[in-house]
Amino acid sequence: MTTLTTGSEAWWQSKKGPEWVREKGNYRVTFWWRDPKGTQNTSTVKRVWLYITGITDHHQNARPQSLERIPDTDVWQWQGEFSPEWRGSYCFIPSDNEHDFADAVFEDAHPDRLALREGWRKLLPHAVSDPLNPQSWRGGRGHAVSALEMPDAPVQPGWDHPDTPYQPPVCIEWNSTRLDNRRRVWIFTTGDDSPERPLAILLDGQFWAESMPVWSALTSLTTGHKLPPAVYVLIDVIDIEHRSRELPCNPDFWLAVQEELFPLVKKHAPFSDRADRTVVAGQSFGGLSSLYAGLNWPQRFGCILSQSGSYWWPHRGAQQDGLLIEQLRTGEKTAHGLRIVLEAGRNEPLIFRANQAIYAELQHTQQPVIWRQVDGGHDALCWRGGLTQGLMILWQPLIHSRSLYGIQ
């Protein structure tokens, strides 16, 4: 067998993204990046920062990691250890500056969290996906990322059939009087038209419509009778400023959804008004918002899918609980009658602890709360599987409803 010279054209052609080998129950993964400007003699690149969600990202109180150049080549590499079930996204950030982070970030094993976040905040707009990896997309923060999935990563229902044909969604404009703004809303339907079809509201709708389209996954699960025929409403956040104002516990947003958006959607696709057939699904601020909607309007939103909910809000990093946790603890909110799926990643420490706290408070209510821990971080690559799995769990009683399939 011919050994290829590291950095040669033939060697690069053999690379298809990260490579891994099994070591003592885990996998040692090697990441590669090709310097387009060549070797250290011709390139100005000093660092290639590696941002792995849940491993080297800003949620971890750990030193930033950079790939290292193999001398006299255009090859940069980095190795790390991952569990067999690991799933997550990553990106590269090439830099001509050796000092992108404050010196304090490298002076201790646990760097200053604010300095660390500030360094990543400046770098991430310059991130690039892995050109060797065909599984790449634009993440929620606007930069390109790529997928890393270990051999034993859990199956993500529906996403394993990306070529399933589907009926394209309808995209409408919603001009809100109450919110005094305008945004896109996608309406996606599966199965035959029926006023009894359940409804799912997907927050951060622009992501699930454009960056990581959910259409084939939902269609595949519906044709396989793992999801009932349904109406899906994907709501655009407009921008980061509107997202930060409307999603965290904002009553006007949810009143506008009920009073303005629902009648608008019904002109295009009939759906059931029953709370036990209505799912609100969201991630991060959207996860917080989904439970907030259920706690405040349980007569309309009866099924809650909260992924990596930001239950620390509004006290980021403070030694006190978030608003919903406090209100549940003092009895100002009740989750009686709701069906709730909570999910968080073990590699998103602050959010994981906040979700454990909200789960503990919800345990005092009378209905079951399903708690799912994910071997991953604050990551849409993990959320996509939890989204379809959560819909299956929450709509399980409907899947066996013969009338939803038009069978008498």
Average pLDDT over residues 153-164: 95
> 183-234, pLDDT tens digit by residue?
999 999 999 888 899 999 999 999 999 999 999 999 999 999 999 999 999 9
Q: Is the pLDDT of residue 181 over 60?
A: yes
pLDDT of amino acid 103: 84
Amino acid (one-letter) located at 228 = P
pLDDT of amino acid 193: 86
> 226-255, pLDDT tens digit by residue?
999 999 999 999 999 999 999 999 999 999
> 275-306, pLDDT tens digit by residue?
999 999 999 999 999 999 999 999 999 999 99
> 26-52, pLDDT tens digit by residue?
999 999 999 999 999 999 999 999 999
Average pLDDT over residues 131-151: 88
Contact predicate 42/100, CB 8 Å: no
Q: Is the pLDDT of residue 407 over 50?
A: no
Q: Is the pLDDT of residue 369 over 70?
A: yes
Average pLDDT over residues 370-382: 92
Fold for the domain defined by 9-149:
Immunoglobulin-like (2.60.40)
pLDDT of amino acid 107: 78
What pTM does this model have? 0.92
Token digits of residue 158? 């529906």
Instruction: List, in order, residues 6 or more apart from 402 with CB less than 8 Å away.
Output: 408
Question: What's the distance, CA 17 to chain centroid?
Answer: 22
Residue 198 vs residues 218, 233, 269: alpha-carbon distances, Å:
13, 11, 11
CA atoms of 310 and 290, how far apart (whole Å): 11
For every residue of the chain, which 3-state class applies, written as one string?
CCCCCCCCHHHHHCCCCCEEEEECCEEEEEEEEECCCCCCCCCCCCEEEEEECCCCCCCCCCCCCEEEECCCCCEEEEEEEECCCCEEEEEEEEECCCCCCCHHHHCCCCCCHHHHHHHHHHHHHHCECCCCCCCEEECCCCCEEEEEECCCCCCCCCCCCCCCCCCCCEEEEEEECCCCEEEEEEEEECCCCCCCCCEEEECCHHHHHHHCCCHHHHHHHHHCCCCCCCEEEEECCCCHHHHHHHCCCCHHHHHHHHHHHHHHHHCCCCCCCCHHHEEEEEECHHHHHHHHHHHHCCCCCCEEEEECCCCCCCCCCCCCCCHHHHHHHCCCCCCCCCEEEEEEECCCHHHHHHHHHHHHHHCCCCCCEEEEEECCCCCHHHHHHHHHHHHHHHCHHHHCCHHHHCCC
Measure the N-to-C terminal CA separation of the chain; round to a whole number of Å: 65
pLDDT of amino acid 406: 35
- pLDDT classification of 84: cutoffs 50, 70, 90: very high
pLDDT of amino acid 25: 92
Average pLDDT over residues 381-390: 97
Q: Give the number of other CB atoms < 10 A from CB of residue 267.
A: 9
User: What is the residue-averaged pLDDT of the chain?
Assistant: 92
Q: Is the pLDDT of residue 261 over 70?
A: yes
Q: What percent of the chain has pLDDT over 70?
A: 97
CA atoms of 187 and 230, how far apart (whole Å): 11
Q: Is the pLDDT of residue 323 over 90?
A: yes
Q: What does the domain layout of the chain look like in residue ranges?
A: 9-149, 170-405
Q: Do the domains 170-405 and 9-149 match in fold?
A: no
Q: Is the pLDDT of residue 402 over 70?
A: no
pLDDT of amino acid 59: 73
**Domain 170-405 CATH (choose: 3.30.750.24, 3.30.2010.10, 3.40.50.970, 3.40.50.1820):** 3.40.50.1820
pLDDT of amino acid 86: 92
pLDDT of amino acid 289: 98
Q: Is the pLDDT of residue 403 over 60?
A: no
